[in-house]
Chains A and B, each alone.
Chain A
Amino acid sequence: DAGVIQSPRHEVTEMGQEVTLRCKPISGHNSLFWYRQTMMRGLELLIYFNNNVPIDDSGMPEDRFSAKMPNASFSTLKIQPSEPRDSAVYFCASSLAPGGSETQYFGPGTRLLVL
């Protein structure tokens, strides 16, 4: 199995630009998560999808952030417009099903730098 695939692995952009991060979950997994990792705040859940439907987006920091999951094998996280404080590592994770005991499998992350 290829695992969770994220692209791009690195992104450098200028303030005000639109940034789109992409994720392909493990085939057959019904739950998908977007996390952000920063030195100040650690790992935070941004949004959770189950069966392609957003269930919990309470972690999305503001309206500049949006996420979609048009089908079971693809999700995007978009930041528009980007700001320097959005610089972080963004992880996508997937699990077979919802539930506290389910293992979440993480992708390699996208390192975003906003200048």
Chain B
Amino acid sequence: AQSVTQPDIHITVSEGASLELRCNYSYGATPYLFWYVQSPGQGLQLLLKYFSGDTLVQGIKGFEAEFKRSQSSFNLRKPSVHWSDAAEYFCAVSNDYKLSFGAGTTVTVRA
């Protein structure tokens, strides 16, 4: 069965600093991988997704993620964090239609 692990429950980062959120997946075949962001009181918004091709994926809001098959990882990065990036981030893996989400990582941005 597919599953996702996000090892970090909470990360605090200074505004302007870089951010990396970890995601490890378990899936038998080539995975479809997603990163979503959830701002307080809001729904989930897709940041980026990977399903084939270039292993470095560019997304919205300046985010990127790198798929590493050998490490079963799909880590999310942003070079310079803005205060508006404070939110909860979810990594997900898809099998056909079913999205399985990680537990999420809450990002706090300090001034």
Contacts and interface: CB of A to CB of B under 8 A. Distances in A.
A21 to B, nearest CB: 14
Interface stretch (A42-50, A66-74, A79-87): A42-50
Contacts of A91: 43-44
A107 B43 CA distance: 6
B98 A56 contact: yes
B46 A103 contact: yes
A34 interface: no
Interface string B24-45: 0000000010101000011111
Contacts, number: 54
* Most B-side CB within 10 Å, residue of A43, A95, A104, A108: A43
B3 to A, nearest CB: 11
Contacts of A95: 97
A53 to B, nearest CB: 13
Interface of B is mostly: strand
B43 A101 contact: no
B101 A42 contact: yes
Contacts of B51: 100-101
Contacts of A102: 97
Interface size on B, as a range, is: 20 to 34
Contacts of B44: 91, 93, 106
Q: Which of B34, B36, B43, B99 has the largest number of chain A CB atoms within 10 A?
A: B43
Given A43-B90, A106-B44, A109-B43, A100 B101 contact: no
Interface in B48-107: 49, 51, 90, 94-99, 101-104
Contact of B97 (A4, A48, A105, A106): A48
Interface in B2-39: 32, 34, 36
Contact of B96 (A4, A98, A104): A98
Interface of B: 32, 34, 36, 41-46, 49, 51, 90, 94-99, 101-104
Interface of A: 4, 31, 33, 42-43, 45, 48, 50, 55-56, 91, 93, 95, 98-109
Which 4 pairs of residues, A with B, have the shortest CB-CB distance?
Answer: A106-B43, A100-B32, A100-B94, A43-B101
